[in-house]
Amino acid sequence: MSGPIHVLNGPNLNRLGKREPEVYGRTTLAEVEALCREAAGGTPVVFRQTNWEGQLVDWIHEATDGDAAGIVINPAGLTFTSIPVLDALKMFGRPIVELHISNIHRREAIYHRSLVSTVATAVIAGLGARGYATAMHAMRDLLG
């Protein structure tokens, strides 16, 4: 495995712990970052969050052009609407784990069709914040 794992988070995830705790839990984004770093087992982690679609696209481009080993991405609401995020991920060419805190398939119909899933190596949904640790372990396995 060479290079860091990039953990990219989309809109409103900076509000974890406050926003709809009955859906997303009470774990904060800072706590999620700590979970990821611990689960990485010494592998470097680039951990980011943005509320801006273009910033997320830029970070995917950075990972693509740089030495990122893989991407764990929770695009949040952009999962279902963003062709630019999808197109950027298509260029990555290394493992991508799509992650959702809630089980998107048990939610309203608008959350059932993920654009990102069409390019993701694997999808994790419904495990709450601990899904991030699961995603990191899965990514490490995918990278060998």
Residue 74 is assigned to a ligand binding site: yes
> CA-to-CA distance for 53 and 115, rounded, in angstroms?
14
Residue 9 is assigned to a ligand binding site: no
83 contact partners, CB below 8 Å, separation of at least 6: 115
Residue 101 is assigned to a ligand binding site: yes
Q: Single out the catalytic residue among 24, 61, 111, 112.
A: 24
Q: Which two tokens stand for residue 87?
A: 């197109």
Residue 51 is assigned to a ligand binding site: no
Is the dihedral angle over the CA atoms 85, 49, 79, 124 positive or is it negative? Answer: positive
* 100 annotated active-site: yes
> CA-to-CA distance for 114 and 125, rounded, in angstroms?
12
* 61 annotated active-site: no
Q: Single out the catalytic residue among 61, 100, 105, 132.
A: 100
- Which residue type occupies 133? A
Annotated binding site for substrate: 74, 87, 101-102
Active site residues: 24, 100
Annotated binding site: 74, 87, 101-102
